[in-house]
Amino acid sequence: MNLLGSARQREALKVLREAGPRGLAQRMVRVAYHRLSASDLEAPLDFDHIADSQGLRLTAPAQRPARGTPLTVGWLCTPPRPGSGGHTTLFRMVEGLEAAGHKCVLYIHDVFHGELARHEAVIREGWPGMKAEIRSVSDGLGPLDAYVASGWESAHVLACYPDLPTRRLYFVQDYEPWFYPAGSQYVLAEDTYRFGFRTITVGPMLADLLGDKYGTACAVAEFGVDTAVYQLTNQEKRRGVVFYTKRDYARRGFALGLVALREFHRRHPDHEIHLFGDATVRAPFPATNHGTVRPAQLSEMYNECAAGLAMSFTNLSLVPDEMLACGVIPIVGESEHAQASIDNPYIQWTRPTPIALADALSAAVTGGPAPASIAASIRQTPWGTAQRVTLETIENEVYG
């Protein structure tokens, strides 16, 4: 064996001793990932589904249907993972249209060309209230009354059918260029706001941002709270904290949250720390990882906790409202963007550094208000309000 081979063998044995079999396997996968250029698989679009706002000419139907005529509306989205908050909000809007008598067709855009039957199984199990037919984008888009893009990738797909005679809308839940560093994906995501689709935003922050930057007039679907699921069931003083862990989503502050919780555990080793969202996370402190949980289970978990980290560095997430409804104090990193969408005296907006977040958690578990007071403060906006705005916007775009 040459010197390089011997060095690599010693290095592998050292990693095995210090990090164990899992750590060694992770490093081997990382090496293979780079040598095989597996990063190419991270591209959310293929080249054939990239549109350009410059010179884009979109075909509209020659005639409008009479108001009151049942419509058929296509919704484009990526394959959902179980428990996905963004898909949950989108599918609520689909259910709202179905309840109004319209037919909905869900078009799955999967760059990995996974089995449609597998995606449909996830959807039917996770969101049984939605009855939409499910199709694949790879089979093409038919001439429906309207299509709704639900993310920047699906907006590009829809724009790549300029000759399709349909009405085009865009359901925007976040300012998605911020998901990426400056580069191709950033500018391609940003360009979708110039496509000219009629736009519905979740919360006022996005409407203000798109209006200021692109002159886009947006309908605002207000954030709602599902109080049928997230509700106060434990009015006693609580112990413990909770954190929504999503390592693959930078905007969720994964590493920052773990460092803050490590400091919190050092100060309060008697408080249990609950993690959920990613079963693979191994925290550098004692913690209970619940993995992916259903909403009812999550409500039960919240009702055991005094406070929780609810990180989001772009638009507001659903987590702070859900925590509040269960009597939990949300600790949220200061963000002018997220703060524009909620006004609640019990949310602790905190400088997003580990010590500041740990300080806020410590204050919440040692002298926080009663859970009943926190739960009573939640916004009284049902998701039906957002459903109505979405329904009216789609109908107005189609009927005229």
pLDDT for position 149: 98
Higher pLDDT, 15 or 88: 88
pLDDT for position 27: 67
**pTM of the shown model:** 0.87
Banded model confidence at residue 314, pLDDT cuts 50, 70, 90: confident
Query: In the structure encoding, which two tokens stand for residue 4, read together?
Result: 């390089």
Q: Tell me which residue of 400, 394, 363, 397 sits closest to 100, measured CA to CA.
A: 394
Residue ranges and CATH numbers for the domains of the chain are 47-224+384-399 (3.40.50.11090), 241-376 (3.40.50.2000)
Residue 43 has pLDDT above 60, yes or no: no
Banded model confidence at residue 13, pLDDT cuts 50, 70, 90: low
- Count of CB atoms situated within 10 Å of the CB of 164: 18
Q: What is the pLDDT of residues 195-238, one digit of tens each?
A: 999 999 999 999 999 999 999 999 999 999 889 999 999 999 89
The top-scoring range by mean pLDDT among 203-212, 287-296, 390-399 is: 390-399
Rounded to an integer, what distance in angstroms lies between the CA atom of residue 289 and that of residue 299?
Answer: 15
pLDDT for position 12: 62
Q: What is the mean pLDDT of residues 66-85?
A: 94
Do residues 232 and 325 make contact, with C-beta atoms less than 8 angstroms apart? yes
Rounded to an integer, what distance in angstroms lies between the CA atom of residue 351 and that of residue 308?
Answer: 15
Banded model confidence at residue 116, pLDDT cuts 50, 70, 90: very high
Q: Show Cβ contacts of residue 241 under 8 Å, excluding neighbours closer than 6 positions.
A: 261, 264, 271, 272, 273, 274, 305, 306, 307, 308, 309, 361, 364, 365
Banded model confidence at residue 38, pLDDT cuts 50, 70, 90: very low
